[in-house]
Chains A and B, each alone.
Chain A
Amino acid sequence: MENKLTRNLYKVPYLLWILLFVIIPIALVLYYSFFDIEGHFSLGNYQKFFTPVYLQMTLSSFWYAFLITAISLIIAYPTALLLTKTKHKQLWLLLIIVPSWINLLLKAYAFLGIFGTYGISNSFLKVIGIGQQQILFTDFSFVFVSVYIFIPFMILPIFNSLNELNPTLVDAAKDLGASKWTTFRRVIFPLTIDGVKSGCQVTFIPALSLFMLTRLIAGNRVITLGTAIEQHFLVTQDWGMGSTIAVFLIIIMVLIMLLTNTRKRGV
């Protein structure tokens, strides 16, 4: 009897947390999405989402999030592989993580200076003879800065799964005559696929709703669903439409989680 009581007591913090910070907020977002700007109940917001403006916005959010995730992965995997082979791997890992302790806004402002017309990168381009280019407020700068910001989150899970990889398996592959590439393709990569998946999730999902960088680095030339939510809540005060977009983002994110998690480890 007492045991059951204490067990139930342990559940309290968890259930309270889930209720207050997960269920109620999502329910509120869903509730607000059914009201138009004048506070009348309507499904108009959902209709509006399926107009070319918002569909195009969804498409471009996906495209940029995909680019950011793919580039991060291409850079992060070899880096993580290299890190596990170094002598002081925890130190090198720490050096990669340190920039993520600095406030995002400060980093974005730093890039304004670096990429500006008279910034360091343009002076460099001039010196090597390419000449001045517009770097700031382009797709390139947006993707570059986003990758820079997300890369620690991609490296960390991949590093962890590589680190846990039993080295005898790699030796075994070698002994059995597998080439380096085959070992990587058939042994190392499949065994670290979970790290890759979680790295992609923690990059792709926040990248879908990036908003501050779209203004600071892309000069509003890139519009994502996150930008639209920000505008609807802060400027227009059309909470209904903002919530509707948020509902679609939640649905998309759940779908992505399901798609990346249910697949069994393939060999």
Chain B
Amino acid sequence: MNHLIRFFLVIALASAIILYGISSLNSSQGYSGGNTLTVYNWGDYIDEDLIKQFEKKTGIKVIYETFDSNEAMMTKIEQGGTNYDVAIPSEYTIDKMKQDNLLIPLDHSKLPNLKNIDQRFMDLPFDPENKYSVPYFWGTVGIVYNPKMLNGKKITSWNDLWNPDLKNQILLIDGAREVMGMGLNSLGYSLNDTNKKHLLEAKAKLDGLTPNVKAIVGDEIKMLMANEEASIGLVWSGDASEIMSENEDLDYVVPKEGSNLWFDNMVIPKTAKNIDAAHKFINFMLDPKVAAKNTEYVGYSTPNKQALKHLPKEVVEDERFYPSPELTKKLEVYKNLGKKNLAYYNELFLQFKMHKK
């Protein structure tokens, strides 16, 4: 009995010490109430020097928290009990958040730097007139491949992947829309197609790809591609740039048939406590020099036209990450297809996964 009591006392004491430690650490960094701003972003998706720069400039303390999926972020905001002032969801999530009234409209008069954003990336279907969101980074879905392992062969189109020589060489990202989209694009259909006949056709075409598919994986794809576990991977351009910085042999291509164009955007969720500071932060991130510094750190493509002037030429002129206008025309943004169509996409994707070699 005495042992048991001592056991619980030790745990209680340890917890008390940790709690005290946390609160004293927080207060020493000036986080105790007052003028603070809570930013909710993807992991490793901002140059942290910029946060310090923002704090110095405005005197607002920034609390920075991270998430690893749109769904997790949305659930946390939906449930409340948090006070995120700025969040950075992807475009299809913004559509959902709008429908569920989770966003606060932006006051454009407080965002003079909005003029720096390239007009191509403004007023997009998921958020007309940018009422709720400002683009943060953008990118594509494409193929990362290892020319060394392919004996110098180049990949330029989705249909190259169906080559019988590539047996067991392809890794796919575990996303229904990305993989189904690849099937649709290879047949010349739209990524947002909801015609059942077209979708079944795409699924049948994907079944033909199974002998070439080594695995369908999640975030591990970055590690696996960098370790040369396979020679070809279906990935987002952001992941591709990360993989390529780890293994310089690899190359990235946006297939010529077209592909997906995605955006991560800054929004003010309804949990915001400091709306004024949130606007200041968004405006700060839109500053050309700040955006350029952030782009150099993160490695994704910036929608900030003025920032391009502050970036090295080889970055801006890299067509893999800043595709030419002709190719950009073929890129499509995912539309929110509604639950029912999305369920059908997922059903077909599940069947594709079950298709044996």
Residues of A within 8 A of B (CB): 37-38, 53, 56-57, 60, 109, 112, 116-118, 134, 136-137, 215-216, 218-221, 223, 228, 231-232, 234-238, 241
Contact = CB atoms under 8 A, between A and B. Distances in A.
B343 A220 contact: no
B18 interface: no
A116 to B, nearest CB: 6
B215 interface: yes
Contacts of B223: 112
B329 interface: no
B216 interface: yes
A47 B168 CA distance: 36
B131 to A, nearest CB: 25
A219 B350 contact: no
A124 B347 CA distance: 41
A38 B344 CA distance: 13
B343 A238 contact: yes
B354 A53 contact: yes
Contacts of A234: 71
Nearest to B340: A37
A228 B176 CA distance: 13
A139 to B, nearest CB: 11
Given A53-B351, A56-B354, A57-B354, A134 B339 contact: no
Contacts of A112: 220, 223-224
A61 to B, nearest CB: 12
A220 B346 contact: no
Contacts of A134: 168, 214
A235 B216 contact: no
Contacts of A237: 339
Given A112-B223, A221-B353, 17 more contacts: A37-B339, A53-B350, A53-B351, A56-B354, A109-B220, A134-B168, A136-B229, A219-B171, A219-B216, A219-B217, A220-B216, A231-B346, A235-B71, A235-B176, A236-B176, A236-B346, A241-B343
24 contacts: A37-B343, A38-B339, A38-B340, A53-B351, A53-B354, A56-B354, A57-B354, A112-B220, A116-B229, A117-B228, A118-B228, A137-B214, A215-B217, A216-B220, A218-B215, A219-B215, A219-B217, A223-B350, A231-B350, A235-B71, A236-B176, A236-B339, A236-B342, A237-B339
Nearest to A217: B215
B227 interface: yes
Contacts of B176: 235-236
Interface in B198-225: 214-218, 220, 223-224
A238 B342 CA distance: 10
B169 to A, nearest CB: 11
B174 interface: yes
Interface in B37-74: 71
A234 B347 CA distance: 14
B340 A215 contact: no
Given A116-B227, A228-B350, A231-B350, A219 B214 contact: yes
A212 to B, nearest CB: 10
A134 B347 CA distance: 29
Given A37-B339, A112-B220, A215-B174, A221 B168 contact: no
B60 to A, nearest CB: 35
Contacts of A53: 347, 350-351, 354
Nearest to A232: B346
